[in-house]
Amino acid sequence: MMFEMAVLHDRLTNVGCALSFTEPMIAEWNLWGFHPPGHSQTPQQIADEQAGGFAGMNAVSGYWDQRSVYNLHTFWKGCSDDFDQVLFHMFLPRFNNEPRLFDGKYAAVHVRHGDKVYFGQTFTIHDLMGRLQATWPGTTDVFVATDDATVLTRDSLGGYMDQGFTFRWYKHARTPGGEPLSYDQSKVAHHDHSREAVVSAMSDLNNLALATVLVGNWNSMFFKLGWLLNYLRRTPEERQEQWCWDVFTDLPCNDRASFVMEFCQTMRARGNPKYDFNCPGNLQEMAQCVLPPR
């Protein structure tokens, strides 16, 4: 949803519209620790604007169903400053207020199992730790974000702990094996959305975004979001460092634009095996940052 909200804000801005919420909705965003991706309006203000017509909104909604999903790769590539700014500022309060589990530099690994196996390729903690050890051999403080309780057991991590690694994670309820299958006929997942589950997921995301080094599977939307937030909070100099690895393509993912292009080129060459989110059909348009018409 966060990606779609940022895209919607960008497209509305480009047709002279603004994203607005009622005051209770603004309060809800703030309650969860987010900066709302729009401004507050009273019901009467919203009604007055609606009375003026929906020309701009119709220009966006008429296009939305056909291409917005595929264009997410174009936004992930870095073709919209508005998208980046809105997404980053949504999470900025959490960056400032959420405690980190390590005081200094640390690596973060994201291990997605559970229902993901039905619609995409998954990887073990050993796949990710192998890449961490090969690429960043001196990094031993590791934050683990995962939906799988078995990943966090002594059987899984003990061998690394004996080598001097320190692992930390948020102690919320997880299911052995990962998130249960909850996809409906439209392939929309209905994951646990209790307050504890949402707060825990956002804490995981925050620690992915603030990590010095990041290793995960770009076939996961959760990892994509952590990856992009991590990129956006870095200085231009820090973005040039080798700080990220995607085990799905076995490619470094620190160079945002070139990585997204190479990712989609790789998916095209492989016939998109086990990637559950299609790349654009026209990669040349993506390379040229062709966005929806204004």
Could you tell me the pTM of the whole model? 0.86
Instruction: Please check whether residue 261 lies inside any domain of the structure.
Output: no
The pLDDT value recorded for residue 294 is 47
pLDDT in tens, 153-183: 999 999 999 999 999 998 877 877 767 566 6
123 and 229 part of one domain: yes
The pLDDT value recorded for residue 173 is 74
The pLDDT value recorded for residue 60 is 47
Q: Does residue 288 register a pLDDT over 90?
A: yes
118 and 10 part of one domain: no
pLDDT in tens, 26-60: 888 888 778 888 877 777 766 766 665 554 445 44
Alpha carbon distance 293, 11 (integer Å): 9
Q: Does residue 115 register a pLDDT over 50?
A: yes
Alpha carbon distance 25, 41 (integer Å): 10
90 and 213 part of one domain: no
Alpha carbon distance 12, 52 (integer Å): 16
Instruction: Please check whether residue 241 lies inside any domain of the structure.
Output: yes
149 and 67 part of one domain: no
pLDDT in tens, 223-270: 999 999 999 999 999 999 999 999 999 999 999 999 999 999 999 888
pLDDT band with cut points at 50, 70 and 90 for residue 121: confident
| Cβ atoms of residues 159 and 94 within 8 Å | no
> In the chain, how many domains are there?
2
48 and 109 part of one domain: no
Instruction: Please check whether residue 91 lies inside any domain of the structure.
Output: yes
Beta bridge partners of 92: none
The pLDDT value recorded for residue 131 is 98
The pLDDT value recorded for residue 188 is 63
225 and 106 part of one domain: yes
